[in-house]
């Protein structure tokens, strides 16, 4: 055990460690990754020349340095981000002192833990598959620590194949335990703090240029399954946040409190029932189609008719909503709200204010003002994802100088104009459109489908959606943002996009079937299988039962006797006969030939041997007369053997067992007597 | 306290012997071939395996606490793989058969080799380890043919020896479980007596034929005898033959026709075992010198003769001489 690791084994260990750390690359601080890489490479190179562990005089300062650097970066070593960075650093440091198989095992165990913590940051299917690949490497590395004394050392491929074989063997048990391990309803200790990691999605504020990142982000935001037919593409507005406060550059959310539970008035408008599976965002906003009527569990319906979850979305989450499309619930606007949705910062954007005032004077109604604004956009504005930068009077510059931009510019300028013209208005951000999967029957909405539009207050009919972007670029509403983007980036060519869309059905299955497999879904699944009570105890019972069954199967597999597979049916029959004779306490040395065996038998039990004689003779004739005895004769012999066993040996076997039991009783009695 | 513990342990072992003979079969020597089956393969997690279980538990708690299903899946997978490794390891050991124990001629106290022949039984064995007393090594077996493992050993005493209790064990494939089995073959092998270091030369002037005696031209003739066929020609005393009108041969051996005698009784001043050691060394020396010899022991006399059969008979008898004070 004390022998140092061979260079090749150490290399495998180093590669495994590096691969494990690589799963954390996305969120490690930028200075740590190259430092760890250099450390590992130096260690491998150094060990080739100078075997032995790196002295503690060097390791301890390095560990202290690591800790200081982590605290400097995060202010803390606890928590998800600093913890994982610290873990990666310690793992690399552990490699410095790994010399014996025992050290290597400890290192690999630590690797497994660090690997698992990578899944706290990212849970997509491709990433999980990658993590499984690293897991296989770890298992193979474990295997390489076992001595392999054949003339040539065991090739790495063989260890990897063993790991793959173990994986296949483990799959049923892993699957069963995954399904049956009772999930915790509430965490045992605090859930991880926020910060980094999940896709941020929409945020609580909207500043120019902020959407650009989102629109280039092709990752899924959420998926929607409708109970009935889906709404038309131009009605697929998923409202998420209502931004009512403007400081000249940035729109921020107006807190409106929880919605009072007045019954929604009956209105025209279409009702949709649907289910949304949303990716983790670490925010609390839940998108919903147009106007949600009721909040799902774990969320509240805010005053501005948006859904707010009671806890941040650290995990993927699924919720059911019923929405009304085409009409809002409110008919009156309280004075304080009206004032709020008319407010503008002082002394900025004079030209826009002047234009709005001019419209107000000329227009006959609010609708007319809206018409004029949309006509302005429609006439000579262009839609682009790469607009020029705007200065202090952003709305003025956009309206009169640059005249190009995308949804957030249009929504911002439109709401500004409406407010300046005395019409209460607000910016709404959310998602518009998406990709309809025919195969999966669901709507896939990506981050790049993020959109901003406006809502204006119309006396008598309430809030009404106006999408100024549609006036500029109707295609954006019909086909989505990326289609109209005049400069397609490398990852958004048509065929690739279409391929990604089609593959998304797998991601959806992963999100719904695995990531979202929580206590609720577990219960639903098990109810189908007749486990109705589904208390944790029942689950554990089912788990133990499955475990026992699998252990039994594995045991049978492990015990499968090899001896019996050698030779032909005749050989097997003969060996079986010998085994049974031995089991009955008769002499049957496998090394003896048939006749000498029979003689030994005869010496012990002449009567029994007499009945066996024809069988022995026939066996000897069949076995030694030709290399391949005819099947029919072989079969006849096997039948005769079976008959002999059942008539003569069974009785003897029972007697034998009785005698053994008597003897056992006798010894136990004598033992009791002696003690 | 340790004494009480040892006593308890002894009592428990004795109880186990009496009540569970099947489980304690390892205690008794058994005849070859010995096949490792489920009744004699023992499994316990290694210390690292226990640590690994704790690690899995921590991972499980973490995954459950954060409601992180992919992490939970990873943990389940790792746990199930660890469990499956037990069965793969078991299959590595199960069905292995020790078919033979062979030895070369060995003298007590001299390093020699035990050859253990293992039959893998149709399945290749990836990583096995063998321990005998304080010797330990690892080996692997390809699946098709029996294979000899050479175990160095130094037999302590002359006479019949057995190889002792072998521990065949494995931590394959992941080092999480320790699987082992004891094999105690009843095979006995004869260990020849130890050799004396720097033995004195053979008893002087005896047993030499042929050219070795030619150096003694000046050596006094012990006499003449009639020629017998196969006598070397140069021993013929030509002048005497002429004189006596028949072929005569010079006789150089002091006691005509007698071989070198190695006599237990003449070795006074040495104890029993030392005498045996010296006689053993002399037997080998006489063989090396191609000198015919007689071994005279208290109860038996072997020879005169020369060659393998004589050597073996002598060594065997010496090896089996009862120890001093016994038998007489």
pLDDT one-digit tens code per residue, A562-611: 555 666 778 888 888 888 888 777 777 777 788 888 888 888 888 888 88
Confirm if A406 and A475 have CB atoms less than 8 A apart. no
Triad A250, A337, A203: Cα angle to 5°: 30
Closest to B84 (Cα-Cα) out of A547, A556, A105, A170: A170
Q: What percent of chain A has pLDDT over 90?
A: 16
- What chain B residue is nearest to A519 in terms of C-alpha separation? B67
| Backbone φ, ψ for residue A465 (5° rounding) | -80, 135
Closest to A440 (Cα-Cα) out of A510, A356, A524: A510
pLDDT of residue B212: 42
Q: Annotated catalytic residue: which of A290, A407, A409, A449?
A: A407
pLDDT of residue A329: 72
Q: How many angstroms separate the CA atoms of A161 and B49, rounded?
A: 22
Residue A236: burial class (beta carbons within 10 Å; 0-12, 13-18, 19+): buried
Residue A511 has pLDDT above 60, yes or no: yes
Q: What is the mean pLDDT of residues A125-143?
A: 92
pLDDT one-digit tens code per residue, B163-173: 888 889 999 88
Contact B65 A187 (CB under 8 A): yes
CA B269 → CA B104, B165, B262, B315, B326, distances in Å?
33, 39, 16, 22, 19
The pLDDT-based confidence of A493 (bands split at 50, 70, 90) is low
The pLDDT-based confidence of A1 (bands split at 50, 70, 90) is very low
Q: How many angstroms separate the CA atoms of B60 and B72, rounded?
A: 6
| Residue A357 tokens, joined | 């005032």
Interface predicted TM-score (ipTM) of this complex, two decimals:
0.74
Output the DSSP codes for B16-39.
Answer: HHHH-TTTTGGGS-BPSPEE--TT
Q: How many angstroms separate the CA atoms of A239 and A411, rounded?
A: 14
Q: How many angstroms separate the CA atoms of B50 and B61, rounded?
A: 17
Least confident of A219-223, A522-526, B140-144: A522-526
Q: Which residues, in sequence order, are CB contacts of B5 under 8 Å at separation 6+?
A: none
Cross-chain CB nearest to B69 (options A175, A515, A561)? A515
Instruction: Give chain A's mean pLDDT.
Output: 81
The residues that bridge with B160 in the sheet, in sequence order, are B190
pLDDT one-digit tens code per residue, A263-310: 555 566 788 899 998 887 878 888 998 888 888 888 888 888 888 888
Strands A404-405 and A382-383: parallel
| Residue A407 annotated in active site | yes
Model pTM score: 0.67
**Dmax (CA) of chain A:** 129
**Dmax (CA) of chain B:** 122
The alpha carbon torsion through A616, A622, A625, A627 (nearest 10 deg) reads: -130
DSSP E strands, A234-383: 237-246, 251-253, 270-278, 285-286, 288-289, 291-292, 299-301, 307-309, 317-325, 382-383
pLDDT of residue A486: 42
Cross-chain CB nearest to B65 (options A165, A172, A189)? A189
Q: What is the mean pLDDT of residues A439-468?
A: 85
* Interface mutation vs chain A, best among B37, B173, B178, B179, most A CBs within 10 Å: B173
Contacts of A558 in chain B (CB under 8 A): 87, 90-91, 94
pLDDT of residue A194: 39
The pLDDT-based confidence of A4 (bands split at 50, 70, 90) is confident
Give yes or no for A145 touching B (CB within 8 A).
yes
Contact A150 B66 (CB under 8 A): no
pLDDT of residue A284: 84
| Backbone φ, ψ for residue A383 (5° rounding) | -100, 120
| Secondary structure string (H, E, C) spanning A151-215 | CCCCCHHHHHHHHHHHHHHHHHHHHHHHHHCCCCCCCCCCCCCCCCCCCCCCCCEECCCHHHHHH
Confirm if A481 and A215 have CB atoms less than 8 A apart. yes
pLDDT of residue B243: 82
Q: Where does residue A296 fall: left (phi above 0), alpha (psi -120 to 50 degrees), or beta otherwise?
A: beta
Q: A-B interface: how many C-beta pairs under 8 angstroms?
A: 176
Least confident of A49-58, A206-215, A383-392: A206-215
pLDDT of residue B207: 44
Contacts of B124 in chain A (CB under 8 A): none
Minimal C-alpha gap between A119 and chain B (Å): 6
pLDDT one-digit tens code per residue, A393-421: 888 888 888 888 888 888 888 999 999 88
Contacts of A516 in chain B (CB under 8 A): 69
Question: Bigger pLDDT: A272 or A522?
Answer: A272
A44: three-class secondary structure by DSSP: helix
Cross-chain CB nearest to B138 (options A131, A149, A175)? A149
* Interface mutation vs chain B, best among A147, A525, A587, most B CBs within 10 Å: A147
Cross-chain CB nearest to A145 (options B77, B78, B175)? B175
Q: How many angstroms separate the CA atoms of A471 and A488, rounded?
A: 22
Residue A541 has pLDDT above 50, yes or no: yes
Residue A139 has pLDDT above 90, yes or no: yes
Could you give the count of Cα atoms lying within 13 Å of A485 in the half-sphere of its Cβ?
Answer: 20
pLDDT of residue A205: 78
pLDDT one-digit tens code per residue, A347-398: 788 888 888 889 888 888 888 888 888 888 888 787 777 777 777 788 888 8
Could you give the count of Cα atoms lying within 13 Å of A353 in the half-sphere of its Cβ?
Answer: 11
Output the DSSP codes for A45-108.
Answer: HHHHHS-SPPPHHHHHHHHHHHHHHHHHHHS-S-SHHHHHHHHHHHHHHHHHH--SHHHHHHHH
pLDDT one-digit tens code per residue, A640-662: 888 888 887 777 777 777 888 88
Low-confidence ranges of chain B (pLDDT < 70): 1, 17, 20-28, 204-223, 230-232, 251-259, 325-328
pLDDT of residue A442: 86
Contacts of B15 in chain A (CB under 8 A): 671
Q: Which helix (H) or strand (E) holds A136?
A: helix A125-144
In the numeric block, the tokens 């943990």 are attached to B75
| Residue A5 tokens, joined | 């690791």
* Interface mutation vs chain B, best among A170, A589, A661, most B CBs within 10 Å: A170
């Amino acid at each position: 055990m004390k022998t140092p690791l061979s260079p090749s084994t150490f290399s495998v260990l180093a590669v495994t460690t590096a691969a494990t750390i690589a799963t954390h690359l996305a969120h490690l601080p930028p200075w740590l990754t190259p430092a760890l890489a250099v450390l590992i490479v130096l260690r491998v190179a150094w060990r080739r020349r100078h075997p032995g562990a790196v002295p503690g005089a060097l390791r301890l300062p390095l560990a202290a340095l690591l800790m200081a650097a982590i605290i400097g970066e995060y202010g803390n070593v606890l928590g998800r981000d600093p913890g994982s960075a610290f873990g990666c650093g310690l793992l690399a440091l552990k490699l410095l002192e790994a010399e014996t198989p025992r050290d290597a095992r400890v290192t690999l165990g630590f690797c497994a833990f660090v690997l698992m913590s990578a899944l706290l940051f990212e849970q997509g299917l491709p990433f999980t598959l990658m993590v499984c690949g690293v897991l296989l490497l770890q298992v193979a590395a474990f295997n390489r620590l076992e001595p392999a004394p054949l003339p040539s050392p065991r090739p790495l491929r063989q260890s990897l194949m063993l790991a793959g074989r173990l994986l296949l063997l483990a799959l049923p048990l892993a699957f069963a335990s995954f399904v049956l391990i009772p999930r915790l309803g509430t965490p045992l200790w605090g859930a991880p703090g926020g910060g980094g990691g999940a896709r941020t999605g929409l945020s609580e504020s909207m500043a120019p240029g902020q959407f650009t990142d989102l629109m280039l982000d092709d990752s899924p935001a959420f998926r929607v399954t409708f109970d009935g037919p889906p709404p038309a593409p131009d009605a697929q507005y998923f409202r998420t946040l209502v931004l009512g406060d403007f400081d000249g550059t940035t729109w921020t959310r107006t807190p409106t409190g929880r919605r009072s539970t007045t019954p929604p008035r009956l209105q025209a408008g279409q009702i949709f029932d649907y289910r949304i599976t949303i990716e983790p965002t670490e925010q609390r906003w839940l998108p919903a189609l147009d106007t949600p009527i009721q909040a799902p569990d774990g969320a509240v319906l805010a005053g501005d008719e948006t859904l707010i979850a009671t806890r941040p979305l650290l995990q993927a989450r699924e919720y059911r909503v019923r929405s009304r499309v085409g009409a809002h619930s409110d008919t009156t606007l309280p004075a304080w709200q009206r004032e709020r949705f008319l407010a503008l910062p002082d002394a900025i954007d004079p030209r826009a204010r002047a234009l709005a005032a001019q419209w107000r004077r000329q227009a006959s109604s609010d609708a007319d003002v809206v018409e004029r604004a949309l006509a302005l956009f429609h006439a000579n504005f262009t839609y682009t994802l790469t607009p020029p930068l705007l200065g202090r009077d952003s709305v003025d510059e956009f309206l009169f100088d640059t005249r190009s931009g995308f949804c957030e510019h249009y929504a911002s300028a439109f709401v500004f104009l409406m407010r300046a013209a005395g019409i209460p208005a607000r910016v709404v951000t959310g998602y518009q459109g998406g990709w309809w999967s025919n195969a999966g029957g669901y709507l896939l909405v990506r981050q790049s489908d993020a959109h901003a539009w406006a809502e204006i207050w119309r006396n008598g009919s309430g809030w009404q959606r106006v999408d100024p972007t549609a006036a500029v670029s109707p295609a954006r509403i019909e086909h989505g943002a990326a289609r109209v983007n005049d400069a397609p980036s490398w990852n958004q060519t048509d065929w690739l996009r279409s391929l990604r869309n089609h593959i998304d059905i797998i991601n959806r299955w992963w999100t719904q079937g695995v990531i979202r497999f929580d206590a609720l879904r577990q219960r639903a699944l098990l109810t189908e299988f007749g486990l109705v009570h589904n208390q944790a105890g029942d689950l554990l019972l089912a788990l133990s039962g499955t475990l026992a069954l699998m252990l039994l199967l594995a045991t049978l597999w492990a015990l499968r006797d090899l001896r019996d597979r050698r030779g032909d049916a005749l050989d097997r029959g003969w060996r079986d006969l010998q085994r049974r004779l031995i089991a009955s306490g008769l002499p049957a040395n496998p090394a003896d030939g048939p006749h000498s065996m029979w003689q030994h038998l005869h010496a012990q039990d002449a009567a029994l041997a007499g009945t066996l004689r024809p069988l022995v003779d026939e066996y000897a004739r069949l076995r030694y007369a030709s290399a391949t005895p005819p099947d029919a004769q072989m079969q006849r012999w096997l039948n005769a053997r079976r008959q002999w066993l059942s008539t003569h040996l069974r009785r003897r076997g029972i007697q034998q067992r009785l005698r053994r039991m008597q003897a056992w009783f006798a010894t136990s009695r004598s033992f009791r007597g002696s003690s | 306290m340790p004494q009480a513990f040892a006593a308890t342990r002894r009592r428990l072992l004795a109880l186990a012997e009496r009540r569970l003979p099947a489980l304690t079969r390892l205690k008794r020597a058994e005849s070859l071939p010995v096949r490792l089956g489920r009744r004699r393969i023992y499994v316990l997690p290694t210390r690292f395996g226990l640590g690994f279980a704790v690690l899995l538990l921590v991972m499980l708690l973490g995954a459950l606490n954060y409601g992180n299903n992919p992490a939970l899946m990873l943990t389940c997978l790792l746990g199930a793989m660890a469990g499956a490794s037990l069965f793969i390891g078991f299959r590595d050991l199960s069905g292995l058969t020790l078919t033979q124990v062979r030895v070369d001629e060995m003298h007590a106290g001299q390093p020699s080799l035990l050859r253990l022949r293992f039959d893998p039984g149709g399945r290749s064995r990836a990583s096995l380890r063998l321990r005998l007393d304080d010797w330990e090594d690892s080996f692997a077996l390809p699946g098709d043919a029996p294979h000899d493992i050479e175990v160095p050993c130094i037999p302590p005493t002359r006479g019949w020896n057995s190889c002792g209790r072998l521990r065949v064990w494995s931590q394959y494939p992941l080092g999480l479980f320790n699987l082992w089995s004891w094999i105690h073959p009843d095979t006995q092998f004869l260990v020849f007596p130890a050799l004396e270091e720097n033995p004195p030369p053979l008893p002087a002037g005896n047993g030499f034929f042929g050219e070795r005696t030619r150096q003694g031209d000046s050596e006094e003739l012990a006499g003449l005898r009639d020629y017998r066929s196969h006598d070397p020609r140069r021993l013929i005393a030509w002048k005497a033959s002429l004189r006596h009108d028949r072929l005569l041969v010079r006789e150089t051996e002091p006691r005509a026709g007698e071989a070198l005698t190695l006599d237990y009784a003449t070795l006074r001043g040495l104890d029993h075992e030392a005498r045996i050691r010296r006689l053993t060394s002399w037997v080998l020396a006489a063989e090396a010198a191609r000198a015919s010899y007689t071994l005279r022991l208290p109860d038996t006399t072997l020879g005169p003769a020369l060659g393998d059969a004589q050597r073996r008979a002598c060594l065997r008898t010496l090896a089996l001489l009862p120890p001093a004070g016994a038998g007489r």
